[in-house]
Structure 1
Amino acid sequence: MKKKINNFSQKITKESNLPAAHAMLYATGLKELDFCKAQIGIVSNWYEGNPCNMHLYKLSEKIKSSVITKDLVGFQFSTIGVSDGITMGTSGMRYSLPSRELIADSIETVVDSHHYDGVIAIPGCDKNIPGVMIALLRLNRPSIIVYGGSISSGNYNGKKLDIISSFEALGKKNTFQISENEYKNIVKNSCPGPGACGGMYTANTMASALETMGMMLPYSSSSPSTSENKKIECKEVSKHIKNLLKKNIKPKDIVTKNSIKNGVKLAMCLGGSTNLVLHFLAIAKSANIDFSLKEFQKISNQVPLIGNLKPSGLFLMEDIHKYIGGMPVIIKYLLNEGILYGDCLTVTGKTLYENMKNIPNITFNQKIIHSLDKPIKKNSHIRILYGNLAPEGAIAKITGKEGTIFRGKARVFNSEKEANSAIINNEVLPGVVIVIRYVGPIGGPGMPEMLKPTSYIMGSGLGKKVALITDGRFSGGSHGFVVGHITPEAQSGGLISLVQNDDFIKIDTENNIITLEVKNEEIQKRRRIWIPPLLKVKKGYLYKYAKTVSSASEGCITD
């Protein structure tokens, strides 16, 4: 007897007392025979206003065409996104991290209310990927993620460009390293078309991690947005979603503690974004898996940094595709070396080990991926710091290029705007620890990314001469001696709220300690006169977010 795969949709299509529902389904174009078929929700984060997302509807159309050939019903719908690159350094960036929750809520709402049997999700920009992953775990029905793919590199005067080139160009222009004309040409040529930002920034970090975790088909994370491989993937995905339906393999069968470790290990080996920590804390919570900050530190001590990838390295995701052969080649290498668990289930219905059996072995006649015995850094660039400034934890991104220990006098700013102004006007001197506070999940609200100040620092040539700490977070494109996610945040009365100009701060990423060098009596004196500032918003989504969001050390979740 043929096994039913329309377990959810039949609650509408087979119920004789739902004539209005049936009438509306006929209106969508369904025929009577279609009422026996499984229904797949095909959700993309498509919108025209962002290169990371502007091509996703076309991918969604290709996927729907393929789904129909497998005797399934496909219903396309869209959810939101926020362009980090466009909103960076503006008040709009406050919506970036909160958009993750809206994405998850909206997908859960459509799929659960319409009783779709499975989901194919097509994310692009940074928060899209964890947003859809959280939703798929909540729904826990057969699902696959198809990554929109990375952007091609830009070019100016024979030099490869990407989005970070444009940010850092402003710092170079303002320190007279380049002309106004060069600056404009870099900006015009940094982003040549569709796809997510090209380095190992947050989108590519999360895509690489989720492919390793088993929620994407092999090659999904590294196939460029406009490549033939991406078109083939869109055609092939229907075969795999039907297989998942037949075998009733669900996200919680795939997302386990070991598969999460696989994703985190791969991302750390490649120099991934610090946002990895926030998002995997939230993903683990959605999967009901105990995974805390301490797990990240444990992994960080176990795996080396081997990816020579931007922002701290030289290469882009397109180079992994072109010169390495795709992400599975790297995954296979780490699997063969005992870094990854091979017995984890994936969306192919096979284990990670089975998926990798026929993948070519890596060769090291290239400079993109180093061998484990000759790493860029013997342990990961992501460090979890504790100390009086961050008793609940903070996240540092340290490749070692800027050193591993920094001690300096604090230069305090109560907003990113103030800090940007001081850096761009050359008012920040070498030896300083820049402190940007009241930009956490509640204080921001929304925990905006600090890519502008870090890019200005690097562009101004201060990368090895200053440090930056914040209760906000960093873009995957940030690099330098930076520490974010300081908890408790300033708005909640964390010690960062009591730092004053010229206080000494020491950041020790060898021993994972961050310390405000001020006597306890002085700290208590300051605390007695500290008054918590009013929330910056009093209504709307950001107000609701500020009232419900957890701390950065818990993943900034709202459920």
Structure 2
Amino acid sequence: MNLRSNLTPGTTEWAVRRAQWRAMGIQDADLEKPKIAIVNSSSQLSICFTHLDEVAREVATEIRAAGGLPFEIRTAAPSDFITSAGRQARYLMPTRDLVVNDIEVQVEGALLDGMVCLSSCDKTTPAHLMAAGRLDVPTVVVIGGYQAGGMCEGVRVDIDDVYEQVGAYAAGKLDLAGLTALTEHAVDGPGVCAGLGTANTMHILAEALGMTMPGSAPVRAGSEAMLERARAAGRAIVALIANGQRPRATMTREAFENAVVVDLAIAGSVNSARHLQAIAVETGVDVDIYGLIERLSLEVPMVCAVRPNGLHHVDDLDRAGGARAVLARLRDRLHLDVMTVTGRSLGDVLADVEVEDDTVIRPLAKAFRPTSGLTLVRGSLAPDGAIVKIGAVPAGRERFTGGARVFATEDDAKRAIADGGIAGGEVVVLAGFGPKGGPGTVFAAGLVAALNGAGLASEVAVVTDGELSGLNRGITIGQVMPEAAEGGPLGLVREGDTIVIDLIERRVDLDVDAAELAARRSLRVEPPLPTSRSWLTFYRHLVQPLSAGAVLGPVTSDE
């Protein structure tokens, strides 16, 4: 193979690298083989990542057996439930892009020939796909899998229950002992949250994009099925390098359209839109993910109802055939000629696939909803759009009008819940929570979970330019564009203003006189750019709008 990693003998780069690698025990014959990064985000900070070292070893063994030379590299490991503790979770979204750049430094700096990315919690899967698109070196994504829940007082529980019951505790409906008991039993093994949150959604969409081995998602973390897909990825990456198949030949416009169709059909996480858009930007594909969601959401039925969208669990979806079965169910709506990392087309991959349980992945004619469970809304409050997981909105609450309750921080809003200061019929507004406004997107999901725990999910709406969890349920409108820090109208909302939400017509409007809004706009003072030496400051100066996936820029057509 003509490998870029095989440097010219006698050069400085060749000599110093050979000295380093020979000292590591690498033999001369190995130095001529494809050199492959195993991108591992293993961490002892979070259960999401604790199993990945074993996975890395399995992948490395298969790479060697297939004729490659593996090198394990490490990156940051952002966990939504651990990395969220500091700075109101502002580090979460920026870490996605930090991982992308970390991978670039290590893979491009060393001129490696390909990579296998071990993807687990929310931000690592999009980061790995973004890096694959940017670097365009042969890549296979290995899905880390979902965690098991447990039993608490005879009831099945998982991390989603813990998240929501914090609200019940704040509202006095659950004592600290009860909440503590939940934390003891909610997680029983490694992997990501057990609901159809951002992590499992992005795992499924990675398969829909053709970047994983078939049957990769969702899968129980650490299971034999998960490890076998990892081994297959180790074999596949060597073949991809030999064949010269690169991510930009896999993640085409048609592949992104397939991913959007799947996202809509499963009612994926509200955060998936920004991640898909970011992956497309980094891959150089001219596709408007938000526009596709807006156009296709009325055409694609919701064939799955996995928590928080319904009563099924993610392991039910796994047993029913997972992403591969969903793709098979939707085959008449997909581009089947797109390539996958198997070297085969999607149509060939799906040729013999059948749905194992029609009650979990329903036929199109018997879908849970005739339209998708994820949609885009526009209106005077969100001129460039906002994302709603309509599949998780209580039945009969698609239309909602209420007075605005404006909070500067999520903690202020949570205190209002605990004090009984938020009542049914109100709309909670959290502005200035976007990528620029944070800086670094503020994680507003805890408030929504607290509203659910307090029994207010069907009585109160939330509108924010911040980040929501894919596990959130209720009348929640997130990722309002443009964000307040970019001059978006969400920053003009005042306490008591009337907000009108119509999810049937797909609108969210601020019912305030135009002259009054103009007066408010004239008084608006742009916050100064931060100057402290911090990753969040650097991010604030570089981050692009949500409509561009909140990638780092500037991004030009020449790049």
TM over 0.5: yes
- In the alignment, is residue 527 of structure 1 matched against residue 524 of structure 2? no
Letter in 2 for 1:454: V
- In the alignment, is residue 405 of structure 1 matched against residue 399 of structure 2? yes
CA displacement at 1:462 relative to structure 2: 0.9
Corresponding position of 2:191: 195
TM-score, with structure 2 as normaliser: 0.95
Corresponding position of 1:377: 369
Q: Which moved more, 1:169-178 or 1:6-15?
A: 6-15
Q: Is the 8 A contact 1:264 1:276 kept in 2?
A: no
Q: Which moved more, 1:121-130 or 1:90-99?
A: 90-99
Cα distance in 2, alignment partners of residues 537 and 302 from structure 1? 47
Which of 458, 461, 465 does residue 455 from structure 2 map onto?
461
Cα distance in 2, alignment partners of residues 13 and 326 from structure 1? 48
Q: Is the 8 A contact 2:481 2:547 kept in 1?
A: yes
DSSP-derived class of the 2:237 partner: helix
Q: Is the 8 A contact 1:199 1:315 kept in 2?
A: no
Q: Deviations over 1:183-230 (max 9, x none)?
A: 211121111121011111001100101101100001112221121111
Which of 208, 211, 232 does residue 212 from structure 1 map onto?
208
Q: How many residues align?
A: 550
Q: How does 1:335-350 map to 2 (within 5 A)?
A: 335=331, 338-350=332-344
DSSP-derived class of the 2:297 partner: helix
Q: How does 1:28-427 map to 2 (within 5 A)?
A: 28-88=24-84, 90-91=86-87, 93-292=89-288, 293-322=290-319, 324-335=320-331, 338-364=332-358, 366=359, 368-399=360-391, 400-402=393-395, 403-427=397-421
Q: Which moved more, 1:530-539 or 1:389-398?
A: 530-539
Q: Deviations over 1:80-118 (max 9, x none)?
A: 121101244651510101111111101111111111111
Cα distance in 2, alignment partners of residues 198 and 387 from structure 1? 34
Cα distance in 1, alignment partners of residues 491 and 531 from structure 2? 19
Cα distance in 2, alignment partners of residues 14 and 39 from structure 1? 20
Corresponding position of 2:483: 489
DSSP-derived class of the 2:46 partner: coil
Q: Is the 8 A contact 2:67 2:238 kept in 1?
A: no
Q: Deviations over 1:21-52 (max 9, x none)?
A: 21112112211111221111111111111111
Cα distance in 1, alignment partners of residues 229 and 482 from structure 2? 43
Which of 433, 441, 444 does residue 435 from structure 2 map onto?
441
**CA 1:369–1:424: 2 relative to 1, 3 Å:** farther
Q: Is the 8 A contact 1:422 1:428 kept in 2?
A: yes
CA displacement at 1:380 relative to structure 2: 1.6
**CA 1:192–1:379: 2 relative to 1, 3 Å:** same
Q: Is the 8 A contact 2:84 2:91 kept in 1?
A: no
Corresponding position of 2:545: 551
Q: Is the 8 A contact 2:213 2:232 kept in 1?
A: no
Q: Deviations over 1:46-89 (max 9, x none)?
A: 11111111111210111111111112111011111211012446
Q: Is the 8 A contact 1:12 1:115 kept in 2?
A: no
Cα distance in 2, alignment partners of residues 90 and 23 from structure 1? 42
Cα distance in 2, alignment partners of residues 19 and 441 from structure 1? 44
- In the alignment, is residue 476 of structure 1 matched against residue 470 of structure 2? yes
Q: Is the 8 A contact 1:89 1:450 kept in 2?
A: no
Q: Is the 8 A contact 1:444 1:536 kept in 2?
A: no
CA displacement at 1:250 relative to structure 2: 0.6
CA displacement at 1:13 relative to structure 2: 6.5
CA displacement at 1:536 relative to structure 2: 6.3
Q: Is the 8 A contact 1:308 1:370 kept in 2?
A: no
For structure 2, list consecutive stretches of 5 or more residues without a partner in the other structure: 554-559
Cα distance in 2, alignment partners of residues 13 and 209 from structure 1? 42
CA displacement at 1:127 relative to structure 2: 0.5
Cα distance in 1, alignment partners of residues 314 and 349 from structure 2? 21
TM-score, with structure 1 as normaliser: 0.95
Cα distance in 2, alignment partners of residues 16 and 243 from structure 1? 30
Letter in 2 for 1:441: P
DSSP-derived class of the 1:393 partner: strand
Q: Which moved more, 1:495-504 or 1:311-320?
A: 311-320
Cα distance in 1, alignment partners of residues 387 and 211 from structure 2? 26
CA displacement at 1:15 relative to structure 2: 5.1
Q: CA RMSD in A?
A: 1.7
Which of 423, 444, 451 does residue 450 from structure 1 map onto?
444
